[in-house]
Structure 1
Amino acid sequence: MRVPYDPAVINDLVLRRADPADATAVADVWLRSYTAALPDVRRAHTDEEVRYWLREIVLPGQETWVATADGAVVAMMVLDGEDLDQLYVDPPWQRRGIGDRLVDLAKRRSPAGLELWTFQVNAPARRFYERHGFTAAEHTDGARNEEREPDVRYVWHPED
């Protein structure tokens, strides 16, 4: 279901640190977004394993942010030092500037620079990151990731 664009929703958007009560919603956003963006990429973990990982490992141990609209989680982002480790926007909420706001937040939190990995087949994500000043620094055959999918490492450094 596609939610119609409503500029008021963006005005009501809240970016905040995730808390343990967000675990289910964060996992739901991650799973829906991954499935929509990468339907042909083999997932290395079941839904329950992803839910466990987010609930027990990521939320308690990493800098996890959510974007909420009317109290509902519509996007999530994980920062691990200078690694932008996860950024997922629920498909009905994409193309509304939410990802832009999360990347801006990540840049403010890591002003010395950021890096991230994405799959080579994820052309929309690659265009998104390139539009935000990230440049491809390394391409791999996927042998080092669990999905065994060719990927690309992007880096961002602030302008002098």
Structure 2
Amino acid sequence: MIVQHYNPQDLEDTVQLWYRTWHHTFPLLQHPQPYSAWKIRFRDELAARGSVWVAEVKNRIVGFVVVMKEEHYLAQLFVAPSYQNRGVGSALVKKAKEICPLGLTLQTLQENTRACVFYERHDFQVGNLSINKINGQPNVEYYWLP
């Protein structure tokens, strides 16, 4: 596995991974935005403002992380279901901590218990509870301080 900086030519593969993995993780939730909105958001917001890194296995993107460096915010971290529990997420969290060595915050849906356990295993602490502004679901904030 290689973790490398995102290349804009990988937009479609990265967004497809994001979209498919989100829907696999939350099969009972209907996301309010169509795929086209996800692609625009990734290109115009996340990739334009954030530091994006992808994990590749055999030249195939299997995960990615987006860090908003100025805000010390881990905006997105997704790993394809078939590559979960193989160290991909851990490598991406390590990269996020390298980008923001003074600390990070993130939000995930409260019902995403696998992600909660994952972040807690990587020394993130529970913070505030809120509502996700895009999909209206309950969020939990996590923070990491070195």
Q: Which residue in the other structure is 2:56 paired with?
A: 68
Is residue 156 of structure 1 aligned with residue 144 of structure 2?
Answer: yes
**1: CA distance, partners of 2:44 / 2:84:** 27
Q: Which residue in the other structure is 1:97 paired with?
A: 87
> Which stretches in structure 1 are left out of the alignment for 5+ residues?
1-12
Q: Which residue in the other structure is 1:17 paired with?
A: 5
Q: Which residue in the other structure is 2:100 paired with?
A: 110
Instruction: Note if contact 2:53-2:64 (Cα within 8 Å) is conserved in structure 1.
Output: yes
**1: CA distance, partners of 2:18 / 2:108:** 14
In structure 2, the CA distance between the partners of 1:89 and 1:52, relative to structure 1 (3 Å rule), is same
TM-score normalised by structure 1 residue count: 0.86
TM-score normalised by structure 2 residue count: 0.93
Secondary structure at the aligned position of 1:29 is classed as: helix
Cα displacement string for residues 103-136 of structure 1 (whole angstroms, at most 9, x for unaligned residues): 0111111110000000000000000000001011
Paired-residue identity, %: 30
Secondary structure at the aligned position of 1:36 is classed as: helix
Q: Hey, which of these two has a bigger chunk of strand by percent?
A: 2
Shift of 1:40: 2.3
Q: Which residue in the other structure is 1:10 paired with?
A: none
Q: Which residue in the other structure is 2:126 paired with?
A: 136
**2: CA distance, partners of 1:72 / 1:122:** 25
Q: After TM superposition, list the pairs within 5 Å mapping 1:8-87 onto structure 2.
A: 13-81=1-69, 82-87=72-77
| Superposed CA RMSD | 1.2
**1: CA distance, partners of 2:100 / 2:119:** 16
**1: CA distance, partners of 2:102 / 2:122:** 15
**1: CA distance, partners of 2:46 / 2:99:** 18
> Which stretches in structure 2 are left out of the alignment for 5+ residues?
none
User: What is the number of residues matched between the two proteins?
Assistant: 144
Larger Rg: 1
